[in-house]
Structure 1
Amino acid sequence: MTSLNRPARLNRALLSILGLVLVGSGGLAIALHFGNVPMLPASSPLVPGTDAPPVWSLYVTVAVCVVVGLLALRWLVAQLARKPKSHTWRMENDPDRGRTELAASTAIAPFLAETRGYPGVHDTFGTLAGTRQSPALALVITTEQDGSPTDIQERLDSHGLPRLRQALDLDTLPVTVEFRFTDKTHARVR
């Protein structure tokens, strides 16, 4: 199943790589201190002279800084990607006779339209992630200040979600629901 929290996976990978780089550089520093690196004796100076570095090293430094900056920017953008990845579902009993493909966004469009009609609901966004064998539904429901999340959740559990499971021919459908509230002018309030 596709993870519902892709930025967390990226964060763990980046932190693991950073940790390995720091452990490696720390180990190298300790090995240099005790003279365990034959190419670099501990008694040699840190910098050979006071001349300016060669021009190529400045270009390499700039290139490395640009790459690190772009990776940091990619990391920041990944923090905003909260929508899980959806798939195209393939429903086939007999592949020789053909197959039916259904986009996950198309599959839940009627459910989202129905949910928008619930009392107190201002808007609904949802993503059906994963495959048909292991689906997951992530909902973000924007309610008005006088809307009752409890009533909306009860209506989802008793009416909306059973109909969606029946329409998609699923026994179970894990769901996460996030409620957001708006004021009378529909400005987002946290």
Structure 2
Amino acid sequence: MNRFLLGLLGLVLLLAGAFAVVVHYGLVTQVDRDASLVPGTALPPAWVLWVVAAAAVVVALLCLRWLTAQIPRRKVATWRWAEEAGTTRLSTATATAPFTEEVSAYPGVRKVEAALTGSHTAPNLALVVRAHGDADLRGIRRRIDDEGLPRLREALGTPDLQATVEFRMTPSKAEARVH
């Protein structure tokens, strides 16, 4: 909702600016382009207009940058190993897919998102585990540490793989029916 309203406000302001430019060049015959906006006022000095225009451009660029930062991105890196026999490339999303499927099958886990960052020589794994409200979080974490991560480390050949786990709780099926 927030992004929608901001986008709508930006569109309205963009259309208002385009209308002002069209009127300035006399393309709208219903509006007198020489009429003052507010009667009885004189134009400010030219440097004030330039400062206001420059400030408006800076604010517009900052708003555009902020708006693009709101777009969720899922960056997928590619690891590359160069050896005498050739080059091997591995997408980090491909590397974590079996691991996320395994952890998703643990009791109480609803969904798992994994992001493998860093280089293949110093990787980091960030997990977001969405679990049911009645799930055993310690048990899930223990299984990740004892079963899932050792297999992923072995598959990737990275014994130094560090992992951070964030749990997000969702209502259990029984709680969802009660409400």
Give TM class, smaller chain. Answer: 0.5 to 0.7
Identity %: 47
Distance 1:178 1:58, change over 3 A: same
2:134 to 139, 142, 146: 146
Once the two structures are TM-superposed, the CA of residue 137 in structure 1 deviates from its matched residue by 0.7
Over aligned residues, Cα RMSD in angstroms? 2.8
Counterpart code for 1:90 = R
2:102 to 114, 119, 139: 114
Q: Kindly report which structure 2 residues correspond to 1:30-109, keeping only aligned pairs within 5 A, or say none.
A: 52-54=43-45, 57-58=48-49, 60-75=51-66, 77-78=68-69, 85-94=75-84, 97-109=85-97
Consecutive aligned runs of 4 or more in structure 1 exceeding 3 Å deviation: 54-57, 75-83, 184-187
Aligned equivalents of 2:101, 2:47: Cα separation in 1: 60
Once the two structures are TM-superposed, the CA of residue 165 in structure 1 deviates from its matched residue by 0.2
Distance 1:82 1:114, change over 3 A: same
Once the two structures are TM-superposed, the CA of residue 98 in structure 1 deviates from its matched residue by 1.2
TM-score (norm 2): 0.65
Match of 1:164 in 2: 152
Number of residue-to-residue matches in the alignment: 135
Counterpart code for 1:154 = R
Matched residue of 1:92: which SS?
strand
Question: Structure 1: which 5+ runs fail to align?
Answer: 1-49
Conserved? CA contact 1:86–1:130, under 8 Å: no
Once the two structures are TM-superposed, the CA of residue 74 in structure 1 deviates from its matched residue by 2.2
Conserved? CA contact 1:145–1:181, under 8 Å: yes
Bigger relative contact order (CA 8 A; separation at least 6): 1
Aligned equivalents of 2:58, 2:129: Cα separation in 1: 39
Aligned equivalents of 1:80, 1:154: Cα separation in 2: 34
